[in-house]
């Protein structure tokens, strides 16, 4: 006998859950816009800009929002689920569903499928779009930075630009990074410019960056102002630099600006130059596990509403408190697991997937308890 599908109920549940999701999305989006706008306004207020800083701040905040929303989407679904199921409970709609002879699991299955499909669409469509906007945001923000130091990794190697002062600058090119560490570079060339005129070039077998010092090993110097005079220098020669390697590493390793479709290509380039690309591996697997993460948030929201301790009052602010507490707990457990992966205590990929798999499977068992 063909199974009966109550399409009217399916349509109703989908509509109500979409409404709850829209409410929570609007609230989180508004908060992110407000905090992002204030942050960018503070940043631009320190600059001497001719443009309208309010418009500039708002535009930059909007460019940043999609990538932040991707991170917060599991918790948007958590609170959307809390809102949806609390309405179901307050209106006593479970009794109506039971009296109609329809399985009440529809109120779980439909939002769960909704969340999983939404997660897949985020990976395929929204993630590349948010990466492009994050890249525009990063490039635009860098234009207004106080210095003009740059860091680029290409097929020709690692390139650094150090703007020493208004008239003097130097460009560094290194063939590769040593031992996955930006502070150790191999086959280095440094080009000194004054008023955009090349004055000298320094070649070194190795270089170590320590604070604002560059320590060079096995140096050959070519002075273009003295008829290409070549000079051999001592093994260790220290030059002062304005480059903050930690800040530049953060720019370089900003995985938000890399689309999921470009991660493989970027990883190949990084590893060719001696860098493992840990940040990109984390981003790739966080994106891939997102549908499962959203699904687990639906399970959790149902458990909070229908299986919370009886001594807790059936008020929405209680649900909000439980949701915030659960969201914080899940977030820090995930981050703790990933930190174990970063420190090589557990495999990196496993550290990303294992908490979500355990969370989904454990909540699944409670939700589908045959005695409930």
* pLDDT tens, position by position, 161-197: 777 777 888 888 887 666 556 677 888 888 888 888 8
121 pLDDT band (50/70/90 cuts)? very high
In a domain, 248, yes or no: no
In a domain, 226, yes or no: yes
131 and 159 share a domain?
no
In percent, the amount of the chain with pLDDT more than 70 equals 77
Q: How many CB atoms lie within 10 A of CB 121?
A: 12
In a domain, 76, yes or no: yes
- Of the three residues 243, 268, 284, the one that is the final residue of a domain is 243
15 and 124 share a domain?
yes
Residue 203 near residue 195, CB atoms below 8 Å: no
pLDDT given for residue 357 in this prediction: 92
229 and 334 share a domain?
no
289 and 219 share a domain?
no
Phi and psi at 242, nearest 5°, equal -90, -5
In a domain, 21, yes or no: yes
Lowest mean pLDDT among 127-136, 198-207, 262-271, 309-318: 309-318
Residue 52 near residue 116, CB atoms below 8 Å: no
pLDDT given for residue 371 in this prediction: 43
Please report how many Cα atoms fall inside a 13 Å half-sphere around the Cα of residue 284, on the Cβ side. Answer: 15
pLDDT given for residue 221 in this prediction: 85
- Of the three residues 201, 218, 243, the one that is the final residue of a domain is 243
In a domain, 285, yes or no: yes
78 and 137 share a domain?
yes
Lowest mean pLDDT among 6-20, 105-119, 228-242: 228-242
139 and 157 share a domain?
no
In DSSP notation, 259-281 reads -TTTHHHHHHHHHHTT---HHHH
Classify the phi-psi angles of 198: left when phi > 0, otherwise alpha if psi is within -120 to 50, otherwise beta. Answer: beta
In a domain, 84, yes or no: yes
In a domain, 223, yes or no: yes
Task: Report the number of distinct structural domains present in the chain.
Answer: 2
d(CA 316, CA 10): 25
50 and 108 share a domain?
yes
97 and 29 share a domain?
yes
3-class state of residue 91 by DSSP: coil
Q: What is the mean pLDDT of the chain?
A: 79
In a domain, 270, yes or no: no
Q: Which residues contact 64 (CB under 8 A, 6 or more apart)?
A: 36, 133, 134, 137
d(CA 126, CA 187): 40
d(CA 184, CA 209): 7
111 and 172 share a domain?
no
140 and 120 share a domain?
yes
221 and 280 share a domain?
no
Which residues constitute the domain of residue 211? 150-243
12 and 120 share a domain?
yes
Distance spanning both ends of the chain, measured CA to CA: 27
Residue 341 pLDDT > 90: no
Q: How many CB atoms lie within 10 A of CB 188?
A: 23
Residue 117 pLDDT > 90: yes
Mean pLDDT across 193-206: 84
Mean pLDDT across 34-53: 77
pLDDT given for residue 297 in this prediction: 93
Q: pLDDT higher for 311 or 221?
A: 221
């Amino acid at each position: 006998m063909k199974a009966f599908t109550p399409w009217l109920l399916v349509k109703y549940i989908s509509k109500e859950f979409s409404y709850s999701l829209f409410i929570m999305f609007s609230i989180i989006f508004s908060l992110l816009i407000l905090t992002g706008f204030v942050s960018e306004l503070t940043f631009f207020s320190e600059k001497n800009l001719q443009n309208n800083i309010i418009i500039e701040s708002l535009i930059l905040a909007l460019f940043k929002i999609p990538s932040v929303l991707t991170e917060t989407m599991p918790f948007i679904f958590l609170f959307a689920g809390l809102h949806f199921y609390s309405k179901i409970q307050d209106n006593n709609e479970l009794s109506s569903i039971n009296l109609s002879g329809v399985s009440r699991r529809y109120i779980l299955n439909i939002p769960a499928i909704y969340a999983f499909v939404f997660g897949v669409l985020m990976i395929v469509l929204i993630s590349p779009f948010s990466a492009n906007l994050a890249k525009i945001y990063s490039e635009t923000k860098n234009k207004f930075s106080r210095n003009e130091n740059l860091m680029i990794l290409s097929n020709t190697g690692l390139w650094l630009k150090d703007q020493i002062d208004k008239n003097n600058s130097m460009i560094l090119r290194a063939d590769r990074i040593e031992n996955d560490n930006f502070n150790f570079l191999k086959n280095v060339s440094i080009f000194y410019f004054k008023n955009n005129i090349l004055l000298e070039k320094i070649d070194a077998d190795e270089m170590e960056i320590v604070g604002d010092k560059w320590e060079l090993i096995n140096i050959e110097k070519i002075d273009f102002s003295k008829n290409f005079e070549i000079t051999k220098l001592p093994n260790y020669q220290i030059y002062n630099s304005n480059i903050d390697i930690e800040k530049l590493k953060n720019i370089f390793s900003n995985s938000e600006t890399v689309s999921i479709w470009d991660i493989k290509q970027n990883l190949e380039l990084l590893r060719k130059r001696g860098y493992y690309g840990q940040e990109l591996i984390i981003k790739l697997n966080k994106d891939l596990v997102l549908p499962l993460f959203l699904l687990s948030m639906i399970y959790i929201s149902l458990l909070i509403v229908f299986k919370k301790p009886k001594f807790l009052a059936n008020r929405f602010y209680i649900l909000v408190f439980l949701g915030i507490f659960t969201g914080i707990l899940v977030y820090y457990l995930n981050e703790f697991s990933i930190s174990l992966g970063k420190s090589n205590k557990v495999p990196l990929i496993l550290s990303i997937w294992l908490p979500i798999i355990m969370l989904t499977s454990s909540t699944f068992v409670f939700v589908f308890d045959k005695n409930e």
